[in-house]
Amino acid sequence: MESPKSLLQPSDCALLMVDYQAGLAFGVESVSRQTVLHNAIALARTATVFGVPVIVSTSASKVYSGPLFPSLQAVLPQLKPIERRNMNVWEDDNARSAVLAAGRKRLLVAGLLTEACVSFPVLSALEAGLEVFVVADACGGLTPEGHQFALRRMETAGARLTSWLQVLLEFQRDWTRHETYDGARAIVESNGGGYGMGLAYARDMIHAV
């Protein structure tokens, strides 16, 4: 059995994405809404490239929150979000069953809003015995303070904080892994900021030689 300090392996992980909907994004003040969505898309693309099961849940989509962001749905075209009524994904039988059915011991979680629909299932999944990683830069909170307080509470309870780019690099680990090289590199180049620009530059320079 892997220790809690061991690196993430795609075969050990499932990804839970919660409430990426416009009605909830309106309330995000901890970070740019565009940044959160940008990072969520990169995370979803990462899961797809590495074959990590993805569970997506939405709430109040017909009443207030609206559908899953179309740009995120486009990355996961075959995936139907699990609609629920309560704030805690873990208290919804269908959503919880979908997470457990993935059969993975490590759960990556990201979504909106950090103070509620992210932190509640994280705390519940920890209590249920899963090892949980919160992809913090793909989460948005109502306030910068509330976002940080929620992250601290989850971390104190045993969750581990990470970023979407660390997840990708941890999965890839070696750029000579050809089966995921092209997909992983494309994500970094399009979503990885200056690091992605550097990869694109290096590629072009090598080809130019």
Report phi then psi at 179, rounded to 5. Answer: -65, -25
Distance of CA 114 to CAs 33, 55, 110, 141, Å? 13, 17, 8, 5
DSSP assignment, residue 28? -
The enclosing H or E element of 116 equals none
Specify the 3-state DSSP secondary structure of 61: coil
Asked whether residue 5 carries a pLDDT value surpassing 70, the answer given is no
Name the average pLDDT for the chain: 93
Report phi then psi at 115, rounded to 5. Answer: -70, -15
- 139 tagged catalytic: no
Per-residue pLDDT tens over the stretch 109-160: 999 999 999 999 999 999 999 999 999 999 999 999 999 999 999 999 999 9
Contact 111, 117 (CB under 8 A): yes
Choosing from 117, 130, 132, 138, the catalytic residue is 117
Give the residue extent of every domain in the chain.
10-173
To the question of domain 10-173 being in CATH 3.40.50.850, the answer is yes
